[in-house]
Amino acid sequence: MRWLAAFAILAFALVSAPASAARQSVSYSTWTITGSTVTVRYVLPAPEAQRLIGTELAIVTVKRLGAYLLKNLGAHSASGECTVLDQGYDLGLVDPLEVGPGLYGFEIFFHCADPRGLVLRNTALFARDSDHVNIASVFVNGRVSEQIFTPRKQRLAIPDDGKVAPVSFFSYVGLGAEHLLDGADRLCVVLGLALLVRRRRDVAYLVGALALGYALAAVVSSMGWVAPRLTLVDAFVALLAALAGLSVVVRNTERGPAIAAAWSALLLLAGVVCAISRLVPTGLLLLGGAALSAGLLVLAGPRERVAWPILAGLLGFLDGFVWSAAIEPAELSASAQLDMTAGLYAGALLTEVVVLGVLVGVMWLVQSYKSFPRQLVNDVCAACLAGLGTYWMVGRLFA
Amino acid sequence: MSSVGLVKQPALVSRAIRALWVSPQRSGALAAVAIVVGLLVALASLFGKAPPSRSTVPAGYVALVNQKGILMSDWISQVENDEGMPFESTAPATRSKVLRQMIDEELVVQRALVLDLPETTIEVRDILATAVNNQVGAQAVTRLPSEDELRAFFEANRAKYTERGPMTVHDLVLHVGGYQNADQSLEQANRDAAEAVYQLRAGASVDYIREHFGFVPGPEDRGEVTDLYAKTMLGATLYPVALGLRDGEISDPVATGDGVHILIMERHALPSVVDFATARPRVYDDFRIQQSNQAVQAHLAQLRRQAQIVIAPGYSE
Amino acid sequence: MKASNLTDQTRSFARRIRPRATWLTVLAITAVLSIGGVAATTHIEHDRLANRLLVALPDEVPANAELARFAAQEAAPLYRQHCAACHGADLKGDRATGAPNLTDSVVIHGRDNVYDIERSILYGIHAGVPKGRDLTEMPAFGLSGRMSSGEIHSVVQYVLQLSRQPHDAEAANQGSEIFYRINCGDCHNPDGTGNPDYGAPDLTANVWNSGGDAQALYDAIYFGQRHVMPAWRGVLSLGEIRALAVYVYLASHPRERSTPDRVSQ
């Protein structure tokens, strides 16, 4: 009966869940204010431009992107809306730039008759993607301050004395928190970890492991040796969610170890097939996942408490690294980059801790009610996690 | 320790797991090894080499322009071509000048791509298309044809190697509207021309026809001309008519854009069929061109297979 | 087996093997760290030399013993994998494919230096790449009907004369007239000494890619020659191409090698 209910809900979850990842949607802009002229240089990664197809653009061409940005970028001052300058020759109102592979770049000049009361406007991509963030550097009279444009902050007022306060550390914290709350796969990993917790000490171990993961990500990403393959990272996060669910299943059921062994064997087989089919990175990921699963689920046995922090640490490491990769094209100063990275990591970590704490608290609370079907809920959640994680992983690897 | 692993397991799995769990050290070590190996393998797939820093020029290149490199070998080649001397003999100032020119050229080329010049400029499109087709064609002509292939090609295209003889043809034209006879309509001109043809075939002279019907000599009436010249002189409409005329024959009236024409064939040498040995140089060249064209068409077919082509409703290709 | 017996046995077993396990673990960790350290050091040194090899101007490399040795070591397996099929495992060429002997001093395309060898590897010969060497090709004079069989025979005798091989003097005389009439000198130079800008070989050197006997020369003139060397840019990395260029250069300049076995087959 228990398992029937679990499978029914699992089937429903699979049918309804899209295999979408919590991908950072980021663009970059540089605003230079000199006297009555405002110059904006906007850089957009190609995948972000592709997201505009269907809603804002029929097809992505340089010209259409330029026209789209012309509509969505602007400056307003005491004299009204600043006019866009025609840059002459073949340039027109929007000058497309060559900024590097995989990136679109544009430059627009605005002229404000009266530069007082200047307000910069950036509404690009927010209507399409509520998670989009634009990392901006604002140069006023030679001084630079880092800002961010978000769906809730699409305008930036420039004081008349030119002293723009940089965005606060807590804004970055908020951004990191928001991003994590939008990421269903990451929340699922946290849910799985919460289900595994038995004692208060376990919560501390998990939080510590998460923090260690983010710290390691900061160190490794700053060295610049490696760059993440984002689609595979998303698939691996889904695998972590599945592993968290399976850890609960292994602990709770009589056939747990056999199920775990079968899971590892399946991953192994899939990895071998992919490797033979020359899908080498995917194959390696599956083979690594098989070994990791075998170690965590089958062989760990009574030492399962060693396994969970590894899951938590991996989540922190990967989430942190993906953020670093998203910030890198902004070419911020070292201090600004550090500030932003620390804020984003802190926000994500704080959210994970809070979510973990809330879930653990709720579970302990309901445990005291004997009539509460604790085991059923446990099994259902574990099955959902395992199923969803597997579904997302397969979808992200092979879609 | 949970007793789960020791109760109600499939026999083989339970024995295996028991063997491991009886020895906690071994199972722990194996678990650690599996976790470490799994992490290493998975992380190897998750991370690749970071792209090179934007501020350093990768080895082998002499400059980066918006992350696009100028190859050192290309720069050396350009210096040598410009100066006409080995690179070692060139002055540093010259090398710098050439590098500056190459950077300028790269900027402009990148600009052309950013401005979608292949989209807007016909010459650019032509050059790009020609360059690709030349590359494809060049690969194809590495295979030399055999004797049999050349002969088969000659037989299949014999008409191409038939040499038509020269002809002496006179072209008389009765202009319609816009010329001397502004009031002459096409129908009237056709009737007049038909009558003129009848008269000519009955033995009337050309001077009589010119005087009584208003025909004038065509613009390129120059006596005996080669077949190729006649083709150019008479144009696409009149040339096929001339080909069908033998010595002394007179054509039916033929209407063209400037009026109604009558062709009088004075002398038309018969075509001669060239033998393979004589036509061989042309056959060889034409075969190589065909090889190249076939390769280009095959390449185009492959591009079509790989492409997603959607045509708007109501239109077809 | 009861759970209590199992636990006692486990504990007893664990007590017995614990010291050995500890030492084994320490040994294993030390071994892994040592191997890792050596591998890292080797990798760093390799990267340093690879970078220097590319940063240097091509013709400066053979004079630097360290770089030349490094290039040869890197290039040897690459040559076996990509080049030996045409140029032979011993670099001495292949008459069947017309791939030239890389160990002699005769140069067909470009000059006898690392830069020009590298250029040939980068962009190929008759490979359809505009930056490659593709100014001319040897036409198929016989197949295309531009020369008769007798004329080709005469020219063959003339070429044998130029390369100081036994020949028929009278036919060679006729051949020389045909040589000038057909404008062979436009590519091979009027004196037959060849032109590396066109890839037209020196007919006087008596060094032949596809054979220098009468039959081979007849076939070359009758059927023409258009040997293709692929363009390796984009297939091999710039470092690999540089290493191969140095390797090939050293194969034909053994005195510039500081160790005899640098260019090993």
CA dist., res. C208 & res. C217, Å (int): 9
CA dist C240 to A321, B179, B200, B240, Å?
A: 32, 74, 82, 62
- The answer to whether A228 contacts chain B (CB < 8 Å) is yes
Measured between beta carbons, the chain B residues lying within 8 angstroms of A289 are 38, 42
Give the model's pLDDT for residue A135. 93
Residue A91 or A4, more confident: A91
Taking the CA of residue B173 and the nearest CA in chain C, the distance in Å comes to: 45
CB C264 within 8 A of CB C76: yes
Phi/psi at C11 (5° precision): -65, -45
Q: Is C125 a residue whose pLDDT tops 60? A: yes
Give the model's pLDDT for residue A3. 61
CA torsion B100-B103-B108-B109 (nearest 10°) is: 140
Among A53, A243, A298, A393, pick the best mutation site for testing chain B contact (most B Cβ within 10 A): A298
Residue whose C-alpha is closest to residue C233's, from A299, B188, A175, B74: B74
- The answer to whether A184 contacts chain B (CB < 8 Å) is no
Give the model's pLDDT for residue A157. 92
Share of chain C above pLDDT 70, in %: 86
Taking the CA of residue C224 and the nearest CA in chain B, the distance in Å comes to: 8
Residue C58 or A378, more confident: C58
Q: Is C89 a residue whose pLDDT tops 50? A: yes
Residue C118 has its nearest CB partner, among B59, B73, B279, at B73
Average pLDDT over chain A, rounded to an integer: 85
Give the model's pLDDT for residue B276. 87
Give the model's pLDDT for residue B1. 40
Average pLDDT over chain B, rounded to an integer: 83
Give the model's pLDDT for residue B6. 46
Nearest CA in chain C to B279: C145
Cβ–Cβ gap B73/C122 under 8 Å: yes
- The answer to whether B257 contacts chain A (CB < 8 Å) is no
Give the model's pLDDT for residue A111. 93
Nearest CA in chain A to B110: A98
Give the model's pLDDT for residue A62. 85
Q: Hey, which chains touch C, using 3+ CB pairs under 8 Å?
A: B
> Which range, of A237-246, B161-170, C146-155, C196-205, averages the lowest pLDDT?
B161-170
Place of tokens 């280009």: B296
Q: Hey, which chains touch A, using 3+ CB pairs under 8 Å?
A: B
Q: Is A155 a residue whose pLDDT tops 90? A: yes
Residue C63 or B4, more confident: C63
Cβ–Cβ gap B66/A100 under 8 Å: yes
Residue A64 or B118, more confident: A64
> Which range, of A138-147, A304-313, C81-90, C92-101, averages the lowest pLDDT?
A304-313
Question: In the B/C pair of chains, how many CB contacts fall below 8 A?
Answer: 89
Give the model's pLDDT for residue C137. 85
Give the model's pLDDT for residue B258. 81
CA dist C24 to C20, C27, C29, C38, C100, Å?
A: 6, 5, 9, 21, 58
Give the model's pLDDT for residue C73. 94
Nearest CA in chain A to B53: A224
* Structural tokens at position B305: 């297979």
Mean pLDDT comparison of A139-143, A318-322, B189-193, C174-178, highest-scoring range: C174-178
Residue A208 or B219, more confident: A208
> Which range, of A41-45, A178-182, B8-12, B125-129, averages the lowest pLDDT?
B8-12
Give the model's pLDDT for residue B41. 86
Segment A115-130 shows an average pLDDT of 89
User: What's the pLDDT band for A158 if we cut at 50, 70, 90?
Assistant: very high
Give the model's pLDDT for residue B50. 78
Q: Hey, which chains touch B, using 3+ CB pairs under 8 Å?
A: A, C
Cβ–Cβ gap C14/B285 under 8 Å: no
* Structural tokens at position B299: 């390449």
Cβ–Cβ gap A258/B30 under 8 Å: no
Give the model's pLDDT for residue B37. 84
Residue C76 or B269, more confident: C76
Residue whose C-alpha is closest to residue C14's, from A303, B1, B22: B22
pLDDT tens figures, B74-94: 999 999 999 999 898 999 999
Give the model's pLDDT for residue C262. 37
Give the model's pLDDT for residue C102. 93
Q: Exposed (0-12), middle (13-18) or buried (19+): which is B14, by Cβ within 10 Å? A: middle
Q: Is A17 a residue whose pLDDT tops 60? A: no
Cβ–Cβ gap C140/B144 under 8 Å: yes
pLDDT tens figures, C202-240: 999 988 888 889 999 998 999 888 888 888 998 899 999
- The answer to whether B48 contacts chain A (CB < 8 Å) is yes
Report the helix count and the strand count for chain B, using DSSP H and E.
11, 10
> Which range, of A39-48, A168-177, A299-308, averages the lowest pLDDT?
A299-308
Q: Is B310 a residue whose pLDDT tops 80? A: yes
Characterize the bridge pairing of strands A83-84 and A103-111. Answer: antiparallel
- The answer to whether B91 contacts chain C (CB < 8 Å) is no
Give the model's pLDDT for residue A397. 87
- The answer to whether B40 contacts chain C (CB < 8 Å) is no
Cβ–Cβ gap A299/B34 under 8 Å: yes
Q: Is A166 a residue whose pLDDT tops 60? A: yes
Give the model's pLDDT for residue C87. 92
Give the model's pLDDT for residue A326. 85
Segment A341-347 shows an average pLDDT of 91
CB B281 within 8 A of CB C145: yes
Rounded to the nearest angstrom, the gap between the alpha carbon of residue B210 and the centroid of all alpha carbons in its chain is: 49
Measured between beta carbons, the chain A residues lying within 8 angstroms of B309 are none
Measured between beta carbons, the chain A residues lying within 8 angstroms of B43 are 288
Give the model's pLDDT for residue C7. 62
Cβ–Cβ gap B284/C144 under 8 Å: yes
The DSSP-derived string for C170-194 is: HHHHHHHHHHHHTTTHHHH-TTS--
Residue A61 or B30, more confident: A61
User: What's the pLDDT band for B178 if we cut at 50, 70, 90?
Assistant: low
Taking the CA of residue C127 and the nearest CA in chain B, the distance in Å comes to: 6
Q: Is B51 a residue whose pLDDT tops 90? A: no
Give the model's pLDDT for residue A15. 56
Nearest CA in chain B to C128: B135
Residue B107 or A162, more confident: B107
- The answer to whether A85 contacts chain B (CB < 8 Å) is no
Measured between beta carbons, the chain C residues lying within 8 angstroms of B73 are 58, 115, 118-119, 122
Give the model's pLDDT for residue B164. 75
Average pLDDT over chain C, rounded to an integer: 85
Residue B46 has its nearest CB partner, among A236, A254, A299, at A236
Q: Is A22 a residue whose pLDDT tops 60? A: no
Residue B50 has its nearest CB partner, among A224, A257, A283, at A224
Measured between beta carbons, the chain A residues lying within 8 angstroms of B48 are 226-227, 229
Give the model's pLDDT for residue C264. 32
User: What's the pLDDT band for C8 if we cut at 50, 70, 90?
Assistant: low
> Which range, of B111-115, B177-181, C181-185, averages the lowest pLDDT?
B177-181
Share of chain A above pLDDT 90, in %: 28
- The answer to whether A236 contacts chain B (CB < 8 Å) is yes
Q: Is A264 a residue whose pLDDT tops 50? A: yes
User: What's the pLDDT band for A54 if we cut at 50, 70, 90?
Assistant: confident
Taking the CA of residue B149 and the nearest CA in chain C, the distance in Å comes to: 11
Among B47, B308, B309, pick the best mutation site for testing chain A contact (most A Cβ within 10 A): B47
Q: Is C12 a residue whose pLDDT tops 50? A: yes
Segment B9-24 shows an average pLDDT of 59
User: What's the pLDDT band for B217 if we cut at 50, 70, 90?
Assistant: confident
Nearest CA in chain A to B21: A301
- The answer to whether B277 contacts chain C (CB < 8 Å) is yes
Asked if chain A contacts chain C via 3 or more Cβ pairs within 8 Å, the reply is: no
User: What's the pLDDT band for B285 if we cut at 50, 70, 90?
Assistant: confident
Nearest CA in chain C to B143: C226
Give the model's pLDDT for residue B8. 52
